[in-house]
Amino acid sequence: MGDGDEGSGTDAETGRSAAGDGSESDPVGDGDVDLDEADGGVDYAGRASSILGFSRWWQIVAAAGMMAAVSPYQYVWSSIEQPLAQGLDIALPALGAVFSFYVVFQSLSQFPAGKWRDSRGPGALTFVAALLAGGGYIGLAYATAVWQLYLLYSLGAIGVGIVYTVAVNTAVKWFPDRTGLTTGIGTMAFAGGSALVVPYVRANATVSAYSDVLRNVGLAILVVTLVGAFLLRDPPEDWLGLEDGDDRGDGNGSDDGLAASLRGRAYTTREMLSTWQFWLLYAMFVAMAGADLIVIANVVRFAEQFGLAAVVATAAATLLPVAAGVSRMILGEASDRFDRKKVMAASFVLAGVFRLALIAAGRAEAGIAFVGLVMAAMFFSSPLFVYFPSVIADYYGAKNSSGNYAVLYTAKVGGGVFAGTVTGYLVASFGWVPTFALGGGLAIAAGLAALVLRPPSGSGMETETPAPAD
């Protein structure tokens, strides 16, 4: 069939586990539940356990631990930049581009890292990431010039990018049946891990104490990531006993028990780039990352421009990452159990609607409603970092998922530019309300665009019979 065929509700669209009802409920115990292969299911957990010698959930624990460890690079910078500037006796604006450098290097490093990981595994790569990310933070404690801060934070950002792509795609490779939930756990750790660090950093973020803080945080990053490098591994190429993975998805129904990311054709990055679905996903990612970062970077100033009390702005800023983190696991699981495309579409549309409602709450000076709507807006937009790697795996296969998703993740740079430079221009020219309204419109547009998505022509997913709902 051509791209004009919607298919017949395959797992690539539904995101449902083809292996069962998701009863594998023990995340760190033996937790490997036998599924009835005689009924067409695949015992992913049992096969993984026989290869690893322990539950595959430990791979997720290690990946989530590494994500939490490196999260200070993204979420603690605002707390350390002031003492860094004071320690070097420079004006704070001189460090203004450090975080922009971080976003660029963290995003762009993922493609070469992902390609390496897909062909050689995560071990050596994660070891390098530990040295870069841990060493970067430790080095900040000894920096004596501005250029050293830029260099160290950029090198650390490369380590963060490696950890991010390794962690997300560990979930994709070991959990083809539950990619939404498991990528949600990892990205939730990245969003929420800094909650353990921020109070410590803020309590000691002075010129006299910050060097010790940076060294201690850097050592924690180094140790946790080295442990992850030791534990993480990829499944063998034929770990599910498939005789010819390249010929899967011929539409004859013989692979109905497999998850979507394993049943269809395994696309290379070059092949993926030739499909219109990728470019639509890329535009959606830019739009959602922009809408997401507009709120994250500006929620305090947005509250202040409405004249809301300082406690309202503080509550909104404090609860925002909580809502963002929790939503990734909850809606990630929902995207596994129900139609992934429809869950993503509804989520993005609601994210936009709540952003528009946020404007109304601010104008009405309704502080409690404002905080609640900030949480709701972030709850439905933040899982973009769960939906997109899952859809990439569904449509283009798990084999090259690290490199393929890393290419899509570069869209975060576009979203960051929009939320930073473009937003600054729009606020100066038109004000906060139209700028936040545009963010809401982008989210709604991304949600509607999701409804157009379908598996690429030639993927082998167009004519398959859908797996029954459990």
Domain-located, residue 254: no
17 vs 181, which has greater pLDDT?
181
Same domain, 289 and 397: yes
Same domain, 208 and 164: yes
Domain-located, residue 258: no
Same domain, 343 and 225: no
Same domain, 155 and 303: no
Distance CA 381, CA 308 (A): 24
Q: Structural domain of residue 292, as residue ranges?
A: 263-450
Task: Dump the DSSP string for 403-460.
Answer: HHHHHHHTHHHHHHHIIIIIHHHHHHHH-HHHHHHHHHHHHHHHHHHHTT--PPTTSS
Same domain, 276 and 420: yes
Give me the torsion for CA of 201, 204, 205, 208, rounded to 10°.
-140
pTM for this model (two decimals)? 0.71
Domain count, the chain: 2
Domain-located, residue 110: yes
Domain-located, residue 456: no
Domain-located, residue 23: no
Same domain, 221 and 269: no
401-409 helix and 110-120 helix, angle to the nearest 10 degrees: 180
Chain centroid to CA 270: 23
Residue 209: CB atoms within 10 A of its CB come to 13
- Span 314-353, pLDDT tens digits: 778 777 778 888 888 889 888 888 888 999 999 999 999 9
Q: How confident is the model at residue 249 (pLDDT cuts 50, 70, 90)?
A: very low
Sign of CA dihedral 155, 387, 451, 291: negative
Of the residues 231, 252, 285, which one is the last residue of a structural domain?
Answer: 231
Same domain, 290 and 172: no
- Span 433-451, pLDDT tens digits: 888 898 899 999 999 999 9
Distance CA 429, CA 292 (A): 21
- Span 18-70, pLDDT tens digits: 444 444 444 444 444 344 444 456 777 788 888 888 888 898 999 999 998 99
Residue with tokens 């004000």: 431
SS3 287: helix
Joined together, the tokens standing for residue 345 give 């579409």
Same domain, 189 and 277: no
Same domain, 270 and 202: no
- Give whole-number Cα distances, 208 to 73, 84, 86, 366, in Å: 21, 11, 10, 41
Task: Decide if pLDDT at 3 tops 70.
Answer: no
- Give whole-number Cα distances, 116 to 68, 220, 363, 384, 466, in Å: 23, 26, 51, 25, 34
Distance CA 242, CA 248 (A): 9
Same domain, 153 and 93: yes
Q: Are 447 and 349 in contact (CB under 8 A)?
A: yes
Same domain, 267 and 223: no
Same domain, 317 and 399: yes
Domain-located, residue 17: no
Domain-located, residue 148: yes
Which residues make Cβ contacts (< 8 Å) with residue 359, sequence separation at least 6? 433, 436, 437, 440
Q: What is the largest CA-CA distance in the chain?
A: 70
Task: Decide if pLDDT at 311 tops 60.
Answer: yes
CATH number at residue 184: 1.20.1250.20
- Span 158-215, pLDDT tens digits: 999 999 888 888 887 888 777 788 878 888 888 777 777 777 777 776 667 778 888 9
Domain-located, residue 318: yes
Of the residues 189, 208, 231, which one is the last residue of a structural domain?
Answer: 231
Joined together, the tokens standing for residue 444 give 């709604």
% of the chain exceeding 70 in pLDDT: 80
